[in-house]
Each structure stands twice: as C-alpha cells, then as structure tokens.
Structure 1
C-alpha cells in the first residue's frame, strides 16, 4: 500500500484534507451513509470512477479508520464496506458541501449522471431544519424512490436507503421532483409554501407528516 500523501501542515483543515481530500473519497462516504455496500454496488453508483481508483480509495479509508470491511454471513460470500463512527461524523461535512454547492447545479447537463438517492442528504437537512422530528420518510421522485431516517432514527443506522423503507409503513411519504429538491436545498423554495401550493405532496397521519404539512 502506497504511503498517504500529505500537505505536511500543522493545521486541522490540512489534516482533514489529508484524509478525505482525494478525488472520490467523500462521494464514497455519501454512498456508505446508506449502510453497508458491496464493491460492485459502490462502483455502479459512482459512475466515472475506475476500479483501480475505487479499490485504492477504499483501502486508504480503511487504513484511516473511516470504513471497515466485513464478510457477509452464509449463504452470502460477498464482502461489504461500511462506515465507522468516525466516518459517519462526515455527514454534516457532506451536507455543508451540498448546501454550498447547490447554487452551482444550474440546469442538468446531458453528460450528468443522476441517481435518485443523491438527493437524500440535501432533503435530510431540509426536513430536519423544518423540525420534522424523528422518523422514516419515503421520497418518490421520477428518478426513483428512496427513504430517509430523520433525527434519532438515523443516529446509528443508515441515514438513507434506496427503494422503500422495508418493514412497517413510513411516517410520511413525499412526492416531488428533482428541481423542487434542488430549490428547497438552495433555499429558493420554502418547504411549507411548497406543500401548500401542491409542489410537494405529503401523505401520512403521523406527527412527522403533520409537521411537514404545517398542521
């Protein structure tokens, strides 16, 4: 394993960039906030990364204490990668970067890849900022479905996941489009106003759903 490059500066920002400043590292964290992922799943959801670079980044992240690698129990034979507690601490870093980068999105380019769950972290920030409380929210976009674990629901396990939430009904179901998510994340749209105007649909009878509807 090659030695890690360093800025060789006695500065906390420089030390942080030593660990996560390489290309693809923070996007790998974004994917692993959904829970354990196989190498093939990571490669599929990181279009543009080479197999060599992905393998190298995962090794570096394991060495730096950001991820662990474990084998699935029988009958599974695959290995999965998952974040450590230290790695999960990067969630607010990614959310802050997403908030800062929102105005840079503009119109989607023909060359831009997109995955529905890439909108998860901005929505977590928006919904928690609206005081939604603790719970599971299913999100339906044209690009696909994913679910969010808000507040205490996401403190230990995955922050989000693809598809439906699994066992039990979600506390709320949101229906909207990608441009609306971007508007909410950038602050160009207010969540309550978007709900009132029907731009964001909210289904459910839980406390979470009622808060999101402003009831």
Structure 2
C-alpha cells in the first residue's frame, strides 16, 4: 500500500514522490546522463533488482524518468528540475560524512557530482580558467568563467591544472576529512600545471580560503 503524508504542503508532496529509499540515489545516477538497468544495479550496490524495477516504474509513471527506445533510462524535464535540490542536498550532506568506514563504497563519477555541488564561481568572480580531474578512471573538467560554471565529462583542451586522485580521497577532501594540501603531501593527490591554480580551484570548491600571498604548493607527477 502506498503511503502518503496527506499534507497540503510542497515538501510533503515532493517526499510523497521521491522520498522513498533509493529513489533520490537513482536520480543522482541519472543526473550525469542516460543509464541502462544493469549500470544502475552495478552502481547502486545493496539495491535489489525487483526494488530497482519498482522505483523506476514509479519514477516513469510520475514523468520524472523516461525510458528511451534503447532501453536506457534518463531524466525527463520534471526530473531535470531535481538537479539543483539534489546537488544542494549533496552539498549539505558532504559535511556529515567524516571518515569512510570499511563497508562504505564510492564511485569515481560521483566526484563530478560533488564538484557540481561544491563549486561556486562567485568566490572568485573575475576568474576564467579550466581544471581537469582524473578520479580513478573518470576524467572530467570544470571551467570557471567570470562567475559562470561549466562541468563536463572528458579531458579539457588546455586546463590550468590537471589533478589525479582516487574516489575515496576525493570524497574525503570534500568532506573535510583531509585537506587538499595534506593529500598532496601524502601523495594521495597529485597535480601538474600552474601551482597557483591549486589555490584558486580549492577556493572555488570551498575547500580553502587562502590569501594570495600564501606559499605555493609544488607540483607532483
């Protein structure tokens, strides 16, 4: 039997639609583009096939998700409107993570969503440059252009800085469990390019608020 809050309230209506367990995590996976059923199962460990089928059926019925002719699932227009609230909730939740426990899993493509949630170009409104990230086997880039932001999968043409790390380290940095410069010192993160770009990128992501005259980090290959 379907449960509803029976409250004449926008938040209650939203939770009636997407508040069930796993639903927003399915939406998270689709924020990066169409995914096949098998891909969703692979990236949502712990979610059974029958429950995934049920959640997708409900999301399609609500016109939040659309099933393509290829069999892949993607967000529909109504689902795309969940992007900002889901990213905002992700940003809020990053601060609750702390250190990962052994049973916790992560995925490299979640790093792109973390960047989308954390980045704020207004922190350096005159900045115009691009940063490339390789998190395990996932490559993506962030472009900051005078207050505007653009993230995209794939390598950048001429980034100011290239960063390499693993998914767990990336999330630990976002959660504040380790600082970006501490990760550089331990070798869990490396970069090539302009050393000053590390400070600017960290500022855009809200990881540091560094004076311009702070000593520069040294690149590590």
TM-score > 0.5 by shorter chain:
yes
TM-score by length of 1: 0.70
Q: Does 1:185 align with 2:174?
A: yes
Provide the residue aligned with 2:35 in structure 1. 37
Q: Structure 1 residues 136, 34: CA separation in 2 closer, same or farther (over 3 Å shift)?
A: farther
Which is higher, the Rg of structure 1 or of structure 2? 2
Distance 2:108 2:176 in 1: 20
Superposition CA RMSD, Å: 3.6
Q: Give the number of equivalent residue pairs.
A: 194
Runs of at least 5 residues in structure 2 that lack an aligned partner in the other structure:
204-211, 213-221
Runs of at least 5 residues in structure 1 that lack an aligned partner in the other structure:
73-78, 155-159
Distance 1:29 1:119 in 2: 16
Distance 1:8 1:134 in 2: 48
Contact 1:67 1:83 in 2 (8 A): yes
Contact 1:102 1:185 in 2 (8 A): yes
Contact 2:37 2:72 in 1 (8 A): yes
1:144 to 137, 149, 158: 137
Q: Secondary structure at the match of 2:67?
A: strand
2:107 to 110, 115, 129: 115
Contact 2:98 2:172 in 1 (8 A): no
Contact 1:136 1:147 in 2 (8 A): no
1:176 shift after superposition: 3.8
Q: Structure 1 residues 213, 203: CA separation in 2 closer, same or farther (over 3 Å shift)?
A: farther
Q: Secondary structure at the match of 2:46?
A: coil
Distance 2:90 2:101 in 1: 18
Provide the residue aligned with 1:88 in structure 2. 80
Contact 2:97 2:175 in 1 (8 A): no
Distance 2:183 2:98 in 1: 23
1:65 shift after superposition: 1.3
Provide the residue aligned with 1:101 in structure 2. 93
Alignment of 1:48-67 (within 5 A): 48-67=46-65
169-178 or 50-59: bigger deviation? 169-178
Provide the residue aligned with 2:215 in structure 1. none
TM-score by length of 2: 0.68
Contact 2:64 2:76 in 1 (8 A): yes
Higher relative contact order (CA 8 A, sep 6+): 1
